[in-house]
């Protein structure tokens, strides 16, 4: 019987994949970043000039967790002023994370990204958007 050599780096990657989030290794999201942190756009501009794309990123996770440093598609987006600003709330929406200024706002609108942490709780991060 002949054995093929298996590179150590591939073996390590395989073991990390198999270990993944099982056993005592807990993969959960503890913090996220929202980008940009703040933005100002002109509500009277023609599309896409009246829009701002927001993205949520995982900032830290236990070693071996696949979602570390990735753009999160599990985020749900909301805005504090849905009368003047709309946003694509979920990844099923073609405007996912894209805020559109429909009218000028008196001050900054809070854009909130909410992500399931993986343990039954949520992680929330906010940004601000001003519509001139």
CB atoms within 10 A of CB 30: 14
Residues 6+ apart with CB under 8 A from 47: 100
Q: What pLDDT is attached to residue 42?
A: 96
Q: What pLDDT is attached to residue 60?
A: 66
Q: What pLDDT is attached to residue 129?
A: 98
Q: What pLDDT is attached to residue 115?
A: 92
CA dihedral 9, 31, 56, 104 (to 10 degrees): -170
pTM of the model: 0.75
Cα 14 to Cα 22: distance, rounded to the nearest angstrom: 14
Where does 27-131 sit in CATH, by number?
Answer: 2.60.40.10
Q: What pLDDT is attached to residue 21?
A: 44
Boundaries of every domain in the chain = 27-131
Instruction: Using 50 as the pLDDT threshold, list the residues of the chain that sit under it.
Output: 1-23, 68-69
End-to-end CA distance of the chain: 74
The 8-class DSSP code of residue 71 comes to: B
Q: What pLDDT is attached to residue 72?
A: 80
Contact predicate 75/92, CB 8 Å: no
Task: Give 74-94 pLDDT, tens digit per residue.
Answer: 899 999 999 999 999 999 999
Cα 38 to Cα 109: distance, rounded to the nearest angstrom: 10
Q: What pLDDT is attached to residue 5?
A: 46
């Amino acid at each position: 019987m002949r054995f093929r050599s298996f590179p150590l780096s591939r073996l390590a990657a395989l073991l990390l994949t198999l270990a993944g989030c099982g056993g005592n290794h807990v993969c959960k999201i503890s913090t996220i970043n929202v980008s940009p942190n703040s933005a100002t756009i002109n509500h009277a501009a023609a599309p896409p000039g009246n829009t701002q794309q927001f993205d949520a990123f995982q900032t830290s996770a236990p070693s071996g967790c696949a979602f570390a440093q990735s753009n999160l598609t599990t985020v749900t987006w909301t805005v504090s002023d849905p009368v003047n600003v709309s946003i694509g709330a979920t990844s099923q929406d073609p405007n996912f994370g894209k805020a559109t200024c429909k009218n000028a706002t008196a001050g900054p609108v809070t854009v909130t990204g909410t992500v399931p942490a993986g343990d039954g709780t949520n992680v929330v991060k906010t940004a601000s958007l001003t519509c001139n």
